Amino acid sequence: MVALTLITFFGAIICCSWTKSIPNAPTPNIIIMLMDDMGWGDLGVFGQPSKETPNLDAMAAEGMLLPNFYTANPLCSPSRAALLTGRLPIRNGFYTTNAHARNAYTPQEIVGGISKDEILLPQLLKTKGYVSKIVGKWHLGHRPQYLPLKNGFDEWFGSPNCHFGPYNDQSKPNIPVYNNSEIKAENLYTNLLPHDSEGLDFILRQTKAQQPFFLYWAVDATHAPVYASKRFLGKSQRGRYGDAVMELDYSIGQILKWLRTLGIDNNTFVFFTSDNGAAVMSGPNESGSNGPFLCGKETTFEGGMREPAIAWWPGHIKEGSVNFQLANVMDLFTTSLVLAGINPPDDRILDGLDLTPVLLNSSQPIFYYRGNELMAVRLGQYKAHYWTWSNSWEEFKKGINFCPGEEVPNVTTHEQKEHTLQPLIFHLGRDPGEKFPLSVLSKEYQDALSRISAVVQQHKDTLVPGIPQLNMCDIAVMNWAPAGCEKLGKCLKPPESNPWKCDWPH
C-alpha cells in the first residue's frame, strides 16, 4: 500500500467530430500517470537492464508502447500546464521573458500560476459528469486561486510545489501537503508516503457511485530528493533512484490490478508517461536514464523531452502493440475529451491532437459516394459495398468499359445491385483487387459488418445533404457572352432559357 504514494491522475478528454465515429464508444474512466523526471531509458521494455519495472513492462505487453512520445517542455511546471490545457506553454503562459531561452517553473516564491483564461481538462470533463482527482504534485501555482480545486479538480491529495527542503527552517516555509482544500500536514512532502491509498480509494468510491472519473496521478518520488519507502529501500541495483522506480512500478501494478478487481479494466483508459527527461545532472543515485538519447531534463535534446509512454485499455487498445507515431502529452488533453465525447474548446488554438485513431487502431472511415448514393465504406482493412455497378448495359454495349479485363461477377455489374441488407465485404489487405468477398457466415464478416454498420449509422444520422447543384441543364447558361467579350466584339446572343434535367449516364 505504501507504494501507492504515487499520485493518481486522470486525463481529460476533448471531443471532436471524430468522436462520433467511434462505434459504440463507451465513456471510459481516464487515468493519467505522470512520473516526475523519470527517463525513457528507465523501463525494462526500453532496455533498462536493472529490472525495476515488471509491472510497467507487463502494462506495455497488455497495451501499446509509444517510443516516439514527447513532453511539451523539458521542465515540470510548463510540461504539466501543457498537459492539462492541451496547449504549448508559450500559449498558456507557463514561460518567462526575463531572459532568452530559459526554463522557468513554480518554486514557492513564484507569483504567477495557471491563468483564469485557460480551460483545464477536469473542467471540461465535468460537463460530462466526470469526477476528477489529482494525487501528487500540482505545480501550476500555489497561491489560492491557482490551486487544483479552483481549477476543475474535485479532489486533491498532494503538494503544490516540489518537495524540496529545507525542512523546518525558520526562514522558509515547508512545502505543504493538501488534502482537498486544506493542508493535511505542513510538513515534509515525504509524509505522502503513508497515504498511498488515495488513488485506490478514489477509484473505489467512483466505481461504487457509477461515476465516470479522471484520476491524475502525478507522483514525484523520482524527483530529487528521490524517496522510497522502507519496503523498497536498497532493493534496486541503482541506488535510491532505482528503489523509487521499483516502488512506483509496484504501485502502478496495484492500480491496474484494482481496476481488474473492480471489473472496470475494460472501461478505464490508462496512460503512463513522464513530465520531462531524466535529471542526469543530479548524479547517478538521484536520477534516471534517458536511454540512447542526448542529455536530459532542462534541455531540448532528445534526452530532455522524449518520454516513456504506455497506453492501456483492455479490449480497446491492441495488446502488445507498438506505435511509432509522433505524439505529445498535449494530445492526452484532446484524446481524453474525444473519449469522453466532449467538444474541444473552439475559441482558442489547441496544440494537442486526437490520438484515438492511433490508440484504437481505428483508422478514419472512407465513404465512397457515387452521386447521391453511399456505395461503400472502408473501415481499417475492411470495405463494405452497399451498392455495386460499373456502368449500364446500354453504355457498356457502346463499348464503354470501366473495368476492362477485370470483371468480378456480381460486383462490377451493369445493373445497379443493392446489397444494403447484406453488404459485400472485402479485406483490402489480402484482397486489394476486391475479388473475393468474405463469406457472410464467417465471424470475420459479422465482426467487420457490425463495426462498419455503426459508422454508417452515425454518418447517416448526421448527414444533411446540400441542395444539389448538378440537376438542371440549360443551353441558355452557356458561355455566350463572357465578361470582356464586348471589347473583342465576340459576344453572342444567348438563346431562350429552356431548362431540363441533365442526363448523367454514369
What would the grid cell of residue 393 be? 448495359
* Smallest separation (angstroms) from ligand NAG to the CB of 356: 12
Give the three-class secondary structure for 471.
coil
User: Of 161 and 362, which has the nearer Cβ to ligand NAG?
Assistant: 362
User: Of 394 and 447, which has the nearer Cβ to ligand NAG?
Assistant: 447
User: Of 364 and 471, which has the nearer Cβ to ligand NAG?
Assistant: 364
| Euclidean distance between CA atoms 383 and 373, whole angstroms | 16
Burial class (CB in 10 A: 0-12, 13-18, 19+), 204: middle
136, 139, 142, 148 alpha-carbon torsion, rounded to 10°: -60
* Smallest separation (angstroms) from ligand NAG to the CB of 315: 5
The one catalytic residue in 15, 139, 419, 427 is 139
CB count, 10 Å around CB of 430?
8
* Smallest separation (angstroms) from ligand NAG to the CB of 188: 16
From residue 331, alpha-carbon distances to 34, 71, 126, 327, 500 in Å are: 14, 10, 19, 7, 52
* Smallest separation (angstroms) from ligand NAG to the CB of 146: 20
| Euclidean distance between CA atoms 219 and 34, whole angstroms | 7
Would you call 502 a catalytic residue per the annotation? Answer: no
The residues near 229 (Cβ < 8 Å, ≥ 6 apart) are: 2, 3, 5, 193, 247
User: Of 410 and 446, which has the nearer Cβ to ligand NAG?
Assistant: 410
User: Of 439 and 471, which has the nearer Cβ to ligand NAG?
Assistant: 439
* Smallest separation (angstroms) from ligand NAG to the CB of 427: 9
Give the three-class secondary structure for 137.
strand
The one catalytic residue in 15, 76, 162, 295 is 76
User: Of 150 and 184, which has the nearer Cβ to ligand NAG?
Assistant: 184
* Smallest separation (angstroms) from ligand NAG to the CB of 267: 4
* Smallest separation (angstroms) from ligand NAG to the CB of 85: 26
User: Of 126 and 240, which has the nearer Cβ to ligand NAG?
Assistant: 240
Strand ordering across the sheet containing 373-379? 366-370, 373-379, 382-385, 424-427
CB count, 10 Å around CB of 472?
11
| Euclidean distance between CA atoms 94 and 77, whole angstroms | 7
CB count, 10 Å around CB of 93?
16
Would you call 139 a catalytic residue per the annotation? Answer: yes
Say what angle helices 54-62 and 239-261 make with each other, to 10 degrees: 40
Q: What are phi and psi of 458, to 5 degrees?
A: -60, -45
The residues near 273 (Cβ < 8 Å, ≥ 6 apart) are: 32, 33, 34, 35, 69, 71, 307, 308, 309, 310, 329, 332
| Residues at the site binding ligand NAG, with contacts judged by CB under 6 A | 26, 179-180, 184, 195, 239, 266-267, 285, 315, 321, 361-363, 380-381, 409-410
Q: Catalytic residues, which ones?
A: 76, 139
